[in-house]
Amino acid sequence: MSESPVWHPFWQHGLGQPVTRVTRAEGAALYTAEGRRVIDAVSSWWVTTHGHCHPRIVEAIREQAGQIDQLIFAGWTHDPAEDVARGLTAILPPELTRVFFSDSGSTSVEVALKMALGFWAHSGEPRHRILVMEHSYHGDTIGAMSVGERGVYNAPYDPLLFDVGRIPFPVGDGANTIEALEAACCDRPAAFIVEPLVLGAGGMMMYGAGVLAAMAEVCRRHGVLFIADEVMTGWGRTGTLLACEQAGVVPDILCLAKGLTGGSMPLAVTLAREPIFQAHWSTDRAKTFYHSSSYTANPIACAAARANLAIWREEPVRERIATLGARQQAGLDRLAVLPGIRNPRRCGTIIALDVEDPAGGYLSALAPRLMALFREAGVLLRPLGNTIYVMPPYCISAEDLTRVHDAIADAVAVVLKG
Ligand code: PLP
């Protein structure tokens, strides 16, 4: 067969590593074209929450596809979107009154930034500066990259990225972060965007709920909009529906995607407090919120999200999350004592650890070697540099999870031998 024309994301084709073809997915398992069963220990890029092809979500998609497949959303609406919006406002903090649909985590962030800038512009006090936390990741569109960490993955585009204020990642009790945020807030920035509790792509870096609460409080005191990017941390990953819950924080703007549809369809929402919506509410058409994409609130994706909300209401999702968290902790305790393991950590259902590597960093040579060993072991894990993390769907069995932890122990032993 001729070479595939597919250009894969975050994949260096020049390294000649094989691309695995998957023909079926169920629960926490992927089945390859060669008939191998592979455990999906990264929830297919952090999206799959209840497991692949959850029957209720599959059925909802099937049914909706035969009713309304797609509908323009500017001034038109449909039941699945209305139900999702109401379902979200019913389970999220009541201050978040408005739901804006888009189709990926990156676009939910772009929308959040535009809402924040629009709020200030239409309030007659234009503010433009965005504050971010160092090591953050918010997506790969230009705006989302601008508010994320700069590095090898966005260096070619750097001249186009807008300038932001960077707040250091919390050390110890986080006083360094709070002090820097306090100082930066005096310059009247528009907003501070943050990944609550866990900085995912930055290396599964974790910080405490106390720091999160303190950051939100500083922003509140200075009237700086607090944007919580819960694209990765939302939908139970950190042990609660939202990570912000653990800090008693209600953001001004909240980004959700990935697990919104249980990880089955591309859909995102950006929720806002009422004053942000009201700043755009006007008889003046110039104050319209000018943002959309063709598939905004696609009915099939919304039907999947509606099914996801029903699963959260009707199935013991929180119990599954607690069980998974405990099993992950047991596995982490076992891995933590092995030679070469540094900084073992857990937040809810996510565990992470660093493998000793003096070179370290995102381009650590360990990553491709580890990934290949995991692949041989029938486990899908994708280290971030020398950081290995496990973020499985909540339905993963105890046996499969043990296999994942065993694969990590084995692979680390191999790479540390040199
Ligand atoms: N924000 C965070 C915190 C993320 O982890 C990600 C993706 O991993 C994004 C935004 C971007 O989401 P998407 O890949 O759906 O555009």
Counting from 1 in the atom list of ligand 1, the atom nearest the Cα of 257 is 15
CATH code of the domain occupying 13-52+317-416: 3.90.1150.10
Counting from 1 in the atom list of ligand 1, the atom nearest the Cα of 232 is 5
Given a contact cutoff of 8 angstroms between Cβ atoms, the answer to whether 347 and 239 are in contact is yes
Counting from 1 in the atom list of ligand 1, the atom nearest the Cα of 233 is 3
Q: Is 350 in the pocket of ligand 1 (CB under 6 A)?
A: no
Token output for 196: 């609550």
What pLDDT shows up at residue 362? 77
What pLDDT shows up at residue 418? 78
Name the residue at shortest CA distance from atom 1 of ligand 1: 138
**Contact residues for 76 (Cβ-Cβ < 8 A; gap 6+):** none
Name the residue at shortest CA distance from atom 7 of ligand 1: 139
Q: Is 348 in the pocket of ligand 1 (CB under 6 A)?
A: no
Token output for 381: 């894990």
**What is the C-alpha separation between 184 and 250, in angstroms, rounded?**
21
CATH top class, domain 57-314: alpha beta
User: Does the CA dihedral 144-147-148-154 come out positive or negative?
Assistant: positive
Best residue among 113, 133, 136, 137 to mutate for probing ligand 1's pocket (most ligand atoms within 8 Å of CB) is 137
What pLDDT shows up at residue 9? 96
Domain residue limits, the chain: 13-52+317-416, 57-314
What pLDDT shows up at residue 389? 98
Best residue among 106, 111, 206 to mutate for probing ligand 1's pocket (most ligand atoms within 8 Å of CB) is 106
**Contact residues for 396 (Cβ-Cβ < 8 A; gap 6+):** 27, 28, 39, 41, 51, 324, 404
Q: Is 139 in the pocket of ligand 1 (CB under 6 A)?
A: yes
Q: How far is the CA of 112 from the centre of ligand 1 (A)?
A: 13
Counting from 1 in the atom list of ligand 1, the atom nearest the Cα of 230 is 3
CA dihedral 304, 308, 314, 319 (to 10 degrees): 150
Name the residue at shortest CA distance from atom 5 of ligand 1: 232
- pLDDT mean values, one per 10 residues, the chain (418 residues): 91 92 98 97 98 98 98 98 98 98 98 98 95 98 97 94 98 97 97 98 98 98 98 98 98 98 98 98 96 96 98 98 98 97 98 90 87 97 96 98 98 92
